[in-house]
Amino acid sequence: MGEETRDRDDGDGGSDDRPSLADQRGVASVYQPAEDSDLLARTARERVEAGDTVLDVGTGSGYVAATLADAGARAVGVDVSPLACQEAADNGVSVVRGDLVEPFRADAFDLVAFNPPYLPTPPEQEWDDWMEHALSGGDDGRRLVDPFLETVERVLAPGGEALMLVSSLTDPDAVRAYASEHGLASEQLASEKHPYEVLVVLRFYQD
Partner 1 sequence: MKEDLMEIICCPLDKHDLDLEVTERDDGEILSGQLTCTECSETFPIEDGIPNLLPPDMRDEAPA
Q: Per rule CB under 8 A, is residue 95 in the interface with partner 1?
A: yes
Cβ(62)–Cβ(72) below 8 Å:
no
Task: Determine whether 207 is exposed, middle or buried from the number of CB atoms within 10 Å of its CB (0-12, 13-18, 19+).
Answer: exposed
Q: Please, are residues 141 and 84 in contact by the beta-carbon 8 Å criterion?
A: no
Range 99-118, binding partner 1 (CB under 8 A)? 99, 102-106, 108-109
Instruction: Indicate which single residue of 130, 144, 176, 200 sits in contact with partner 1 (rule: CB under 8 A).
Output: 130
* Residue closer to partner 1 (CB basis): 106 or 185: 106
85 binding partner 1? (CB under 8 A):
yes
Q: Provide the 10 A C-beta neighbour count for residue 108.
A: 17
Sequence-distant (6+) residues with CB within 8 A of 166 are 116, 118, 145, 172, 175, 199, 200, 201, 202
| CA separation for the pair 6, 44 (Å, rounded) | 26
- Residue of the chain from 80, 169, 174, 189 that contacts partner 1 (CB under 8 A): 80
Rounded least distance, CB 141 to partner 1, Å: 14
Which CB atom, from 143 or from 176, has the smaller least distance to partner 1?
Answer: 143
Nearer to partner 1, 35 or 147 (CB): 147
Closer by beta carbon to partner 1, 131 or else 199: 131
Q: What are phi and psi of 193, to 5 degrees?
A: -85, 135
Strands 74-79 and 184-194: unpaired
Binding status of residue 76 toward partner 1 by CB under 8 A: yes
Of 109 and 202, the one with the shorter C-beta distance to partner 1 is 109
> Given the rule CB under 8 A, which residues bind partner 1?
53, 76, 80-81, 85-86, 89, 94-99, 102-106, 108-109, 126-130, 132-133, 136
